[in-house]
Chain A
Amino acid sequence: MSGSILIARHLSKVVPSAEGDLQILSDLSLELDSGASLAIVGASGSGKSTLLGLLAGLDLPSSGEVLLAGHALQQLDEDQRARVRCAHVGFVFQSFQLMESLNAEENIMLALELKGSSAARRRATELLERVGLGARLHHYPRQLSGGEQQRVALARAFAAEPQLLFADEPTGNLDSQTGAHIIELMFELNREHGTTLVLVTHEERLARRCQHQLHLEGGRRVDDGAAP
């Protein structure tokens, strides 16, 4: 289907362990239209992050396939997948994952420059102002609070105008009030940019803000299939 930005077919992930092979995901399929939002919900160990990693091309499935913006990820090597991510994908992580050696502005410029943007600095400044950190351009991550770091991470994620945003428990390391602000900001930016959102969370309330929910238990889909 031409409107689908993300398609997964029969994804399985098996990892070897001391007690034999461990099935982390089994036979999972989904299809997500451009501009839609999907929440992947489940308890700890249900395979949420593994699925996110496979969908974003951070890892390869043991079987099955992922098509991201038309690219069959399992046929690409790591560098080629990196180029796909660079072109189409943004990330927000639970632990912010900012470069400690770069200041707020440079962290955002990083994503732009990887894409070859010429006006990286101007765009970074705009985005930081957009997330309310216009006065903290030159602060390093360790000089920022958790909420501020996550705002920088959001600005970085949207900087390169990705078609797809993957967010892994974005409020997991924040207090509820700060978390709520971050979520608001994320959905606002998502709307403004028309980005497709894949959100991993264990909070049902947050999940309900997405158009679709995918429930995982022991590596299997347990929802009614209403999700894509």
Chain B
Amino acid sequence: MKAIPLRRILLMAWRQLRRDARAGELRVLFFALLVAVAASTAIGYFSARLNDAMLLRASEFLGADLVLAGSAPAEARQIEAGTTLGLAHARVVEFSSVIATDEQIQLASIKAADDAYPLRGELRSAPAPFQAEQPGGGPRPGEAWAEARLFTALGLQIGDLIEVGSQPLRLTRVLTYEPDRVGDFYSLTPRVLMHLDDLAATGVVQPGSRVRYRELWRGEAALLGRYRQAIEPDLQANQRIETASDSNRQIGGALGRAERYLNLASLAAILLAGVAVALSATRFASRRFDASALLRCLGLSRREALLLYGAQLAMLGLIASAAGALLGWVAQAGLFVLLRDVLAQDIPPATLWPALAGMATGLVALAGFALPPLASLGRVPPLRVLRRDVLPVPPSSWVVYATAIAALGLIMWRLSLDLRLTLSLLGGGLLAIVLLGGLLLLALRGLRRLLAGTSLTWRLGLGQLMRNPLAAAGQALAFGLILLAMALIALLRGELLETWQEQLPTDAPNHFALNVLPADKDAFAARIEALSNQAAPLYPVVPGRLVAINDEPVRALVSKDSQGERAVRRDLSLTWAQELPEGNRLLAGHWWQAGQDPSALPGVSVEAELAESLGVTLGDRLGFSVGGVTRETRVTSLREVDWDSFQPNFYMIFEPDTLQDMPATYMTSFHLPAGRDRELVQLARDFPSVTVLQVEALLAQLRSILAQVSLAVEYVLLFVLAAGLAVLFAGLQSTLDERIRQGALLRAIGAERAMLVRARRAEFGLLGAVSGVLAALGCELVSALLYRFVFDIAWQPHPWLLLLPLIGAVLVGGAGLFGTRRALNASPLQVLRDG
């Protein structure tokens, strides 16, 4: 017999799809797919663009996307390589110089920048010291902007002339903020900003002068990558490349955690939507057994029947995925519009990639979950038209589960790009399902005996569960999974936010005071105490350079561009302390012990990461050059430092009484509420030597980044909820036909609606409660693992999870009643129609 042309089968599939859609047959499958794709697309877009936005913020700390820094001017070919790629370019030269007025001189750190500077972020300045700042602009040739403390130190006013080298410059504004300077606490001298065109005329920069040249670049990530590749191989020994992603510790930590959270939440959403797709695809297949048998009778071959339904599903998949991708795109675009005030303005536009990836996710989920039940449609024996109890030979369950798990794994891996996370989630999940499922089966079997003596309502409701304990256990696991995913995501959200809040409390120090002279120390400490209730102790600071490790010159020991290399290239702030400072944690060795051998080398405590980069361990001898004298020390402890604390932090802490003979200044940090600028001005006037740095801008920047991250986290939670609901209704829908039949029968033989409601309530309430117990157990287990291995947060038990059984009973009970209301309202006449 001639085969039916493919075109005709496809046409049939299309017609059938439209009929099914009109009859409302495809609603749940469509919805499940829609949610899976929309969640995947929106989260994909959202994290990609949010990442861009946060990187942009981080770029501001650099004033650019990429900086080529060196102690000599960049070579012409290095500049050319960037300009030919079309990257925006700015040049900055930094050096120290004495600023002279007619009466006084003051050492200042000078920055000469061209018109393009800064490429990211903006300068801020005020018309007079300690007045309100305005963003934008920069000094023109012949002008200079200086920090307020230079005005204080030299008694200057706006309009006065200062001399940088041999070039007179007119002070036109007070410099209040440079985007690329925040966090650079080591520049102890006041800043002067001038135009690059005036640099040559100063005559200050001569061969051999200590000058820092910075070439700033801005452009698309791909172009920057190409630029980096072009210049990296033959970088000079004095040059290095800085980018936003490695520029800031505080942001890095928060970003990393947020990204992992977004990944995890999207995995949860996809997983749930995948389960919904699986449930509704199974129903799709089983409801077509009759039609399939009929078509086989009418002469369709097995292959053709399979093709017909496969095509129908593929069409549905494509339409639902496209709609889901569009919905996901609209959702993220809408959110970015809502957030336009919080987020940076120039976020790169969204590409098509996340939408395509989202669609692929939907189609893979459909294939993985729907193909096994679909395959059984092709095996429906034609005999079924005569005998309805003839069911298709089920495909090997191994094939079914392997396909579904492979599909899940593929999706999870694509999303997280983290094979370990994917495998551990999948493996842990499977193990939990087997263990909990087994327990549940046993419990249900035990329940059957208990049930014999209960009321009709309970027996009707629970009979539904007992009849097929395997299916009931499956349902409880599915609902448990929903509750688990939702509880886990909510739990993590709360604790991540809390961690971030703790990281940046509202009274975090927002001012640093440097250069406090020993003579002023006590008076200054008293003043700070009066001004602020959040102040760190005053730490002595002695500039010194690490020169030798175990008598070997240190420069030969450190690798280029490492943290160690950066640390030995400049003076470190050395301090001493009796007690371990707050925010420090001893990782190895011990803090100072009384009664030590006085002839032994003085002890030093080293920050652990630097120690690792330098290859320094306990007991090593470190040589420091301090004030021209070399000091030998021995490493007695390694410390972990909380760099996010906005406290004075030190790489090297010496044993007390070992540096006291060296000239030291003191530093501290303190919190001053907004609006107390006048007192700050007075402080600066009373202690002219002291440098007060405002880090409010940095704090604000960090807070705004954390606000974005928190928002993202909440937004993703919505998708997880939507996916959870999709599963819930898909699960209910898959048993709806049987329930409608039963509802009609019970009504026919005289049951009232209220009794049916009670029975359903008993069934779904118990199902929900059991799911809640499973979810509470699972949630504690998974959160303990995640906190430890993924988020690096300390884990504590969560007693509120004990509410989950109740929440489950209410949620699943309510949704169960709502989802099966058609069964409650089924006309009893239906039993005659069926008959």
Contacts and interface: CB of A to CB of B under 8 A. Distances in A.
Interface of A: 49, 52-53, 56, 58-59, 78-79, 82-87, 89-91, 93-95, 97, 99-102, 106, 109-111, 113-115, 140, 156, 168-169, 172
A110 B459 CA distance: 9
A106 B463 contact: yes
B832 A52 contact: yes
Given A100-B738, A101-B467, A83 B835 contact: no
A224 to B, nearest CB: 27
Contact of B829 (A58, A100, A106, A109): A58
A78 B464 contact: no
B750 interface: yes
A102 B829 contact: no
A97 B826 CA distance: 15
Contacts of B460: 99, 101-102, 110
B456 interface: yes
Contact of B751 (A59, A86, A109): A86
A95 B831 CA distance: 9
B249 interface: no
B827 A91 contact: no
23 contacts: A53-B829, A56-B748, A58-B748, A58-B828, A58-B831, A78-B747, A79-B754, A82-B751, A82-B753, A82-B828, A85-B750, A86-B751, A91-B748, A91-B831, A99-B746, A100-B467, A100-B742, A106-B459, A110-B460, A111-B750, A114-B456, A114-B755, A172-B835
A97 to B, nearest CB: 5
B834 interface: yes
B834 A95 contact: yes
A191 B493 CA distance: 71
B782 interface: no
Nearest to B742: A99
A58 B832 contact: yes
B10 interface: no
6 pairs of A and B residues whose beta carbons are closest in the complex: A86-B750, A94-B835, A101-B463, A101-B467, A85-B750, A113-B456
Contacts of A59: 827, 829
Contacts of A94: 835
B752 interface: yes
Interface string B717-752: 000000000000000000000100110011111111
B150 interface: no
Given A93-B832, A168-B835, A101 B466 contact: yes
Interface string B447-483: 0000000001001100110110000000000000000
B467 A140 contact: yes
B748 A102 contact: no
Interface string B808-835: 0000000000000000000111011111
Contact of A78 (B466, B741, B753): B753
A89 B829 CA distance: 14
Given A59-B827, A106-B463, A113-B456, A87 B832 contact: no
A100 B467 CA distance: 8
B570 to A, nearest CB: 78
B467 A83 contact: no
Nearest to A170: B835
A85 B749 contact: yes
A113 B827 CA distance: 22
Q: Is the interface of B mostly helix, strand, loop or mixed?
A: helix
A65 to B, nearest CB: 18
Contacts of A79: 752-754
B751 A114 contact: yes
Given A99-B742, A101-B463, A101-B467, A86 B749 contact: yes
Interface in B676-719: none
B740 to A, nearest CB: 13
B750 A114 contact: yes
Interface string B511-534: 000000000000000000000000
B542 to A, nearest CB: 83
Given A106-B463, A110-B456, A58 B749 contact: no
A99 B749 CA distance: 12
B748 A85 contact: yes
Contacts of B466: 101
A82 B752 contact: yes
A71 B398 CA distance: 58
Contacts of B750: 82-87, 89, 111, 114-115
Given A58-B827, A101-B467, A106-B463, A49 B832 contact: yes
Given A58-B829, A97-B835, A102-B459, A82 B747 contact: yes
B432 to A, nearest CB: 28
A169 B835 CA distance: 8
Nearest to A109: B456
A83 B835 CA distance: 23
Nearest to A49: B832
Contacts of A169: 835
Contacts of B456: 109-110, 113-114
B738 to A, nearest CB: 7
Given A53-B829, A86-B751, A87-B750, 11 more contacts: A53-B832, A83-B752, A86-B749, A93-B835, A97-B745, A97-B834, A99-B460, A100-B738, A102-B459, A114-B755, A156-B749
Nearest to B834: A95
A100 B460 CA distance: 11
A169 B746 CA distance: 19
A20 B456 CA distance: 44
Contact of B745 (A52, A56, A99, A106): A99
Contact of B749 (A49, A52, A109, A111): A111
A114 B827 contact: no
A64 B752 CA distance: 25
B787 to A, nearest CB: 42
B737 to A, nearest CB: 12
Contacts of B463: 99, 101-102, 106
Contacts of B748: 56, 58, 85, 91, 97
Nearest to A156: B749
A109 B459 CA distance: 11
Contacts of B738: 100
B833 to A, nearest CB: 8
Contacts of A82: 747, 750-753, 828
B516 to A, nearest CB: 81
Contacts of B835: 49, 93-95, 97, 168-169, 172
Nearest to B459: A106
A83 B747 CA distance: 9
A204 to B, nearest CB: 20
Looking at A78, A89, A97, A100, which has the most chain B CB atoms within 10 Å of its CB? Answer: A97
A88 to B, nearest CB: 9
A65 B513 CA distance: 96
A93 B460 CA distance: 21
A125 B463 CA distance: 19
Contacts of A99: 460, 463, 742, 745-746
Nearest to B465: A101
Contacts of A86: 749-751
Contacts of A102: 459-460, 463, 467
Contacts of A93: 831-832, 834-835
A58 B463 CA distance: 25
A69 B641 CA distance: 88
A226 B822 CA distance: 42
Contacts of B829: 53, 58-59
A45 B456 CA distance: 38
B314 to A, nearest CB: 31
A115 to B, nearest CB: 8
A106 B832 CA distance: 22
Contacts of B745: 97, 99
Interface string B472-503: 00000000000000000000000000000000
Nearest to A115: B750
Contacts of B752: 79, 82-83
B596 to A, nearest CB: 80
